[in-house]
C-alpha cells in the first residue's frame, strides 16, 4: 500500500497537480487527466453507457480536500464527487508518459 505523499502542489498556471511521494518520486498529472480518470458512480455510469466526456481546455482544480486516504477535487466544471485514493493517484501518475512540468 502506498504511503500518503509528502507534498502536493496545485500548479494552477500549468493546470497540473504535482505530487511528491515519500519514496522521492514526483508525478505531474494534468487537470484534464484527473477529471477524465474520475471513478465516481456518475462518471462510471457515463463511461459504461458510452457517453463521451467533454472536458474544457481551461478546466481548473478550484479546491483540493485531503480526506486522509486520498484526495477529493472540486473542478471548475462543477464536478466534485470523485475520491482519488493515494494508490490510484500513484498509478495514474506512473502511467503518464507525456507529462510536462513548466517552471
Q: What is the pLDDT of residue 85?
A: 97
Residue that has been written with the C-alpha cell 462510471 in this structure: 44
User: For residue 41, is it left (φ>0), alpha (ψ between -120 and 50) or beta?
Assistant: alpha
Confidence of residue 94 (pLDDT cuts 50, 70, 90): very high
* 20-72: pLDDT as tens digits: 999 999 999 999 999 999 988 988 888 888 888 889 999 999 999 999 999 99
Q: How far apart are CA 100 and CA 64, in angstroms?
A: 21
Q: How far apart are CA 97 and CA 100, in angstroms?
A: 9
Range of the domain at 60: 7-94
More confident residue, 1 or 18: 18
In a domain, 102, yes or no: no
Total domain count, the chain: 1
In a domain, 99, yes or no: no
The structure's pTM equals 0.86
CATH (domain of 74): 3.30.2020.30
Say which DSSP state 90 is in. H
Q: How far apart are CA 89 and CA 69, in angstroms?
A: 11
Amino acid at each position: 500500500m502506498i504511503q500518503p505523499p509528502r507534498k502536493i502542489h496545485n500548479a494552477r498556471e500549468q493546470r497540473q497537480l504535482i505530487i511528491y511521494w515519500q519514496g522521492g518520486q514526483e508525478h505531474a498529472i494534468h487537470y484534464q487527466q484527473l477529471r477524465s480518470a474520475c471513478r465516481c458512480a456518475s462518471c462510471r455510469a457515463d463511461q459504461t453507457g458510452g457517453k463521451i466526456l467533454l472536458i474544457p481546455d481551461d478546466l481548473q482544480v478550484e479546491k483540493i480536500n485531503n480526506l486522509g486516504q486520498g484526495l477529493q477535487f472540486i473542478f471548475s466544471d462543477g464536478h466534485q464527487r470523485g475520491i482519488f485514493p493515494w494508490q490510484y493517484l500513484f498509478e495514474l501518475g506512473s502511467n503518464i508518459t507525456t507529462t510536462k512540468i513548466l517552471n
